[in-house]
Amino acid sequence: MSFCLGLTGSIGMGKSTTAKMFAARECAVWDADAAVHRLYGKGGAAVQPMQSVFPEAIANGEISRARLKQIIGQDPEALKRIEAIVHPLVAQDRAEFRASAQSDILVFDIPLLFETGGDAEMDAVACVSVDAETQQERVLARGSMTFEQFRHILQKQMPIEQKIARSDYVIETDTLEHAEAQVAQVLADIRSKLADA
């Protein structure tokens, strides 16, 4: 039986980088965003069901995120219908990973872990965190969104203070070295618990 660790945090807090640190220490990592990309891509499991509800969302045999954004922009109710198609497929992808992964610790990189109730499936949760100023700098430095878009995403996410309060572990990502040391500590703690079980 593998130990399931949920990894969460708000946008720009270093979750993807931290997930790579877990992977480098022999943890199997499941990435929610990567799963959605697989489902949306050519031959992905979401393409057919999405085509039957929102044919205009399909471009070149795959689901276009830009077109989905337009659809949601024109009809806020569309989001619920999109989620009703995508969420069960993501859950199935996650279940298949869980059944086939070979590591003692499975890490589930899920941005909206608490918002979607995914924490109930985890043995523990680690939340990555950094101060608000660094978070904003990192997000805007990517050059892929405006300050307004960043604010909008933040408003949809649970405040980081609440995520921290509900987590078993907190990983400060102020420097790579500090984050690495904390990842090692988290794994040492989990592995000592597994050895005692």
Which pLDDT does position 84 carry in this prediction? 93
**Domains and their CATH numbers in the chain:** 1-27+105-197 (3.40.50.300), 34-102 (3.40.50.300)
Which pLDDT does position 68 carry in this prediction? 93
Which pLDDT does position 22 carry in this prediction? 98
What mean pLDDT is predicted for residues 127-149? 92
Which pLDDT does position 143 carry in this prediction? 87
Predicted confidence band of residue 196 (pLDDT cuts 50, 70, 90): confident
Which pLDDT does position 162 carry in this prediction? 95
Distance CA 36, CA 109 (A): 12
Is the pLDDT assigned to residue 45 strictly greater than 90? yes
Tokens coding 181? 């040391």
Distance CA 77, CA 54 (A): 13
Tokens coding 80? 């619920």
- Average pLDDT value for the chain: 94
Distance CA 168, CA 6 (A): 10
Predicted confidence band of residue 197 (pLDDT cuts 50, 70, 90): confident
Tell me the C-alpha to C-alpha distance, in Å, between residue 156 and each of 26, 59, 153: 33, 27, 5
What mean pLDDT is predicted for residues 51-62? 95
What mean pLDDT is predicted for residues 165-174? 97
